[in-house]
Amino acid sequence: MTADAIMKRSRIVLIEKAKETGFCFGVKRALKILEEAVDKYGEVETLGPVVHNERVVDSLGRLGVKVVESSHQVAGRIAVIPSHGMPPQVSHELKARGLTIIDTTCPNVQRAQKAAKELSEAGFWVIVFGDPHHPEVKGILGWAAGKGVATLDSEAISKLSDLPHRLGLLSQTTRNPSQFARFTNDVINLLLPRIGELRVVNTICNVTEKRQTEAMELAEKADLMIVVGGRNSANTRCLAEVCSSTGTETHHVESAAEIQEEWFGNKTFVGVTTGTSIPDRLTQEVMLRLDQIRKRGLDAT
Ligand code: F3S
């Protein structure tokens, strides 16, 4: 073995998994509803992936769950609304076509949708702090009946020339609470002279908040963090951002196979956390891979 290869051997002493990993209650609930629907109806079609995890979507596909991109592509009789929800207009359109709707929207997302609807009906223009391209955010905005906007940039709001007098502020469920607080603060500082009223509703999911706090605590102790989850999963990307913000080297992986041995050359404490759409089996594979790397490091000493 070359000196270089020996240097790259891990020196891992400790691997710690966050207390909460794997599916959140919203994902478990969605999968249960979906499995019951498949038992009852055979084939069903989901409007986009029911959860943001390819492996889970593939195994559901083998049970008879087909993914379509939009309501217009539903060819069968049973349409499933995914856990991150949809604008109400989509359900109305599907109902008008006589389809049966199975709604797996997470109760925490429903809370955000209800807040958007109530604010809009009370005459507030709704600002959703979130990624405007994310389906959950588009859905929440739909519940505000088009009277609002989604953004992560408070400056963009301040540039609006015809700013409504009453603003309602809420968040994508998977956002970081400190970032939402900062955004709210910026909105107050930038816009208060131009508006009459601002109402803020905290719609961040409690599971997300708890997981991010735990991940940050773990990242502060660890030399390296592994964050497991889909690259298109908003909550996993937020977890990775939170871990990186502590200054600890952080790697976002979708599977154990992506973990590279050379990351661990001078690391002794590795922390692991996962997004909320990750099956326990995948977390176990990651822990096993890390343990193999740790053992190889010990054997080399
Ligand atoms: Fe729901 Fe929060 Fe999970 S919004 S789907 S419980 S991450």
- Is the pLDDT at 239 greater than 80, yes or no? yes
Give pLDDT, residue 250.
98
What is the SS3 string spanning the chain? CCHHHHHHCCCCCEEEECCCCCCCHHHHHHHHHHHHHHHHHCCEEEECCCCCCHHHHHHHHHHCEEEECCHHHCCCCEEEECCCCCCHHHHHHHHHCCCEEEECCCHHHHHHHHHHHHHHHCCCEEEEECCCCCHHHHHHHHHCCCCEEEECCHHHHHCCCCCCCEEEEEECCCCCHHHHHHHHHHHHHHHHHHCCEEEECCCCCHHHHHHHHHHHHHHHHCCEEEEECCCCCHHHHHHHHHHHHCCCEEEEECCHHHCCHHHHCCCCEEEEEECCCCCHHHHHHHHHHHHHHHHHHHHCC
pLDDT cut 90: percent of the chain above it: 82
Instruction: Look up the pTM and report it.
Output: 0.90
* Nearest residue (CA) to ligand 1, atom 2: 205
Tell me the domains of the chain and their CATH numbers.
3-23+206-300 (3.40.1010.20), 25-105 (3.40.50.11270), 108-200 (3.40.1010.20)
Rounded to the nearest angstrom, the distance between the alpha carbon of 205 and the centre of ligand 1 is 6
Rounded to the nearest angstrom, the distance between the alpha carbon of 206 and the centre of ligand 1 is 8
**Separation of alpha carbons 181 and 177, rounded Å:** 6
CB 127 within 8 A of CB 144: no
For ligand 1, which residues put their CB under 6 angstroms from it? 24-27, 83, 106, 108-109, 173-174, 205, 207-208, 235, 276
**Span 133-190, pLDDT tens digits:** 999 999 999 999 989 999 999 998 888 888 899 999 999 999 999 999 999 999 999 9
Residue to probe by mutation, ligand 1, list 25, 105, 202, most atoms within 8 Å of CB: 25
Give pLDDT, residue 1.
46
**Average pLDDT of the chain?**
92
Name, in order, each residue with C-beta under 8 angstroms of 230's C-beta and a sequence gap of 6 or more: 52, 53, 54, 236, 254, 275, 277
Which one of the listed residues 16, 93, 136, 214 is annotated catalytic? 136
Name, in order, each residue with C-beta under 8 angstroms of 72's C-beta and a sequence gap of 6 or more: none
Give pLDDT, residue 10.
76
Give pLDDT, residue 29.
96
At 289, the amino acid letter reads R
Average pLDDT over residues 243-267: 95
Rounded to the nearest angstrom, the distance between the alpha carbon of 221 and the centre of ligand 1 is 26
**Span 41-90, pLDDT tens digits:** 999 999 998 887 888 889 999 999 999 999 999 999 999 999 999 999 99
Nearest atom (ligand 1) to Cα of 235: 7
Rounded to the nearest angstrom, the distance between the alpha carbon of 292 and the centre of ligand 1 is 32
Rounded to the nearest angstrom, the distance between the alpha carbon of 61 and the centre of ligand 1 is 22
Average pLDDT over residues 256-263: 94
- Is the pLDDT at 255 greater than 80, yes or no? yes
- Is the pLDDT at 104 greater than 90, yes or no? yes
Residue to probe by mutation, ligand 1, list 21, 24, 31, most atoms within 8 Å of CB: 24
Average pLDDT over residues 109-120: 98
136 belongs to the catalytic site:
yes
